[in-house]
Structure 1
């Protein structure tokens, strides 16, 4: 009897003709299609967020110094791709080098008898490659002009030799002078050929090169991704594990200190990607992950678990693609490159690059951007705490 009851129960629950429980929503084809469309839209947005900056990026308005007169500077601009360079005239090579080290410019053109192009692969390998291409074009043009000069010199020499082959009879005695005939015209004709052989060589000097452990800059370019993911993971875990809103603020502070130290140990001590002062790198990395974690906890404290999605979208799907970690901000369309520097991924990526290779560059803005997002997250946590307590008091009364 018991066996028969169990079988009947199992059949009632799993049989093909089973009816849905009373009050349960009926399966709907419309809901299934809407879910599929929504999922496809999310995937498309994610694809666009990460691929659009790369596909649409192009070099434009790159700040580059130039040493030379205005005519030479205009010639450089004319020979470069349209709109690529934003040349800033400086007085000396030393001044150009200083601007590169302060990240005011990406490189410099030294125009004169000994042409030279200064680059900085630490600032941007992509821009350094562009400047190397311009150096090759300049050298080809100089070689072409030198070849043209050599051909003109050869023609002058041939004309002089042809004139000399007519012999002394074709010259008047007066032209020979009392001391005999003048020097051999063939010797005079060799001068253009000798000068034409002295072809200037365009040299390329890397003022701020990358470290040997990251010679291509790939490690530094992706260093911002662990900071972004680390901040999101830290924010999600602390918001789920720690239920007290005030203790979430404490957890975020502790996570920033521990996470910053751990990431810097890996990126600098182990992999050798980061350079410079270890303590400052720990502070920058810790502030980056703490800012994202605080922001996620702040939204969760205000609106609940749905706040995780807001924080993740703001940092990963908006901030990270326009952070200019792999290419200069000038490569992005419109003002997106500048906007990206005011979000956590862009500010932290630029700050770590400057701390590693450009200690003389201004970094105040990046520090304040990270501090600002961190303070905003902590403020949202405290606001959520106060609102929750006010609701409890209202419910009690």
Structure 2
């Protein structure tokens, strides 16, 4: 009879319990990563333009501080045209246009395509201004009625109840094919997932690091053309030039995929885990793909724009709806992450060439 070797390490039951606890901890971390931005989101310092004379601006600023607290950050604009231009450049989310005299009805300018939540907030501002105007009109009407009652001669003259309505103008709405921007918002997560999945497939499906660089380029081209066709041609979620949108999507995919592939090429399988955690649990929740960066706790909203998910989502929105906005920063962020990934892979290529290829690996044996 063969003797049973003495048990070493953790007992099987204890090991099973430890693994279960570890799995639960991982689920908890994932839940915190995805739920934290939504639970803690609160508007802070949303830039909104204001146009009008100093006295009206001061009165409106005081009203908004009481109504919205620190949610809005008012910036003076020269006139309505300047405010609209600033909205189209994505410098502000909307504007409040006050008349040159108190008798003029104000206008609230919004851009739903910038963010529907902010546009709804500004609609609430317009409602508050409307209530204030209605109260003033009601007081003026009551005073006029009291005067007519006291003066029989005035009672015979025609009397019209005044009415004024705050105008809300959407200068950058979503397209008719995506009126609420839902299709554009849901595209963000598949890009993240696709980038990670592509990294896994390329890392394990292509053995030589040099060939992985070729695979990254091909993945960006094919992925950009395919996803661009789906999002723009089938769903109507993207507007503008199909080729430019396809290039942006392809670069966003590669910006996620390349660093993970580079880490895998350089340090082995753990590199995939490090890259995936960085993108999925850090970069994606703070990407501001579905909410303004100002809704996230400072400075996480701004930090999120330095990662591929945030830069990619911003770039696609600006290409579709804000052609006047500067797009240099998101293009540079995506190109930078792509370059880092390619550089890591290139280092692995140099290292491979400096070592002797195993004889039993046909892909690593030099030809000839």
User: Do the two structures share a fold, i.e. TM-score over 0.5?
Assistant: yes
Shift of 1:350: 0.2
- Which of 121, 132, 135 lines up with 2:123 in the alignment? 132
Shift of 1:186: 3.9
Secondary structure of the residue that 2:93 maps to in structure 1? Answer: coil
Q: Which runs of 5+ in 1 are unaligned?
A: 1-11, 13-17, 162-183
Q: Matches of 1:392 and 1:36 in 2, distance apart?
A: 42
Q: TM-score when scaled to structure 1?
A: 0.84
Q: Matches of 1:76 and 1:223 in 2, distance apart?
A: 38
Which residue of structure 2 aligns with residue 141 of structure 1? 132
Which residue of structure 1 aligns with residue 205 of structure 2? 241
Q: TM-score when scaled to structure 2?
A: 0.90
The two structures, once aligned, show a CA RMSD in angstroms of 2.0
CA contact (8 A) 2:141 2:162 kept: no
- Which of 84, 87, 97 lines up with 2:74 in the alignment? 87
Give the length in aligned residue pairs.
Answer: 350
Q: Matches of 2:309 and 2:125 in 1, distance apart?
A: 32
Alpha-carbon spacing, 1:364–1:114, altered in 2? closer, same or farther (3 Å): same
- Which of 344, 348, 354 lines up with 1:384 in the alignment? 348
Deviates more, 1:39-48 or 1:364-373: 39-48
- Which of 352, 356, 364 lines up with 2:320 in the alignment? 356
Residue by residue over 1:233-275, the C-alpha shift from the partner in whole angstroms, topping out at 9 and shown as x without a partner, is 1111011010001100110111100011110000000100011
Alpha-carbon spacing, 1:23–1:116, altered in 2? closer, same or farther (3 Å): same
CA contact (8 A) 1:115 1:200 kept: no
Residue by residue over 1:91-115, the C-alpha shift from the partner in whole angstroms, topping out at 9 and shown as x without a partner, is 2111111111111111110112031
Residue by residue over 1:12-33, the C-alpha shift from the partner in whole angstroms, topping out at 9 and shown as x without a partner, is 9xxxxx9867898674343223
Bigger Cα Rg: 1
CA contact (8 A) 1:77 1:85 kept: no
Moved runs in structure 1, 4+ residues, more than 6 A?
18-26
- Which of 297, 303, 319 lines up with 2:283 in the alignment? 319
Q: Which runs of 5+ in 2 are unaligned?
A: 358-368
Alpha-carbon spacing, 1:26–1:64, altered in 2? closer, same or farther (3 Å): closer
Q: Matches of 2:254 and 2:308 in 1, distance apart?
A: 10
- Which of 63, 78, 83 lines up with 1:96 in the alignment? 83
Shift of 1:70: 2.4
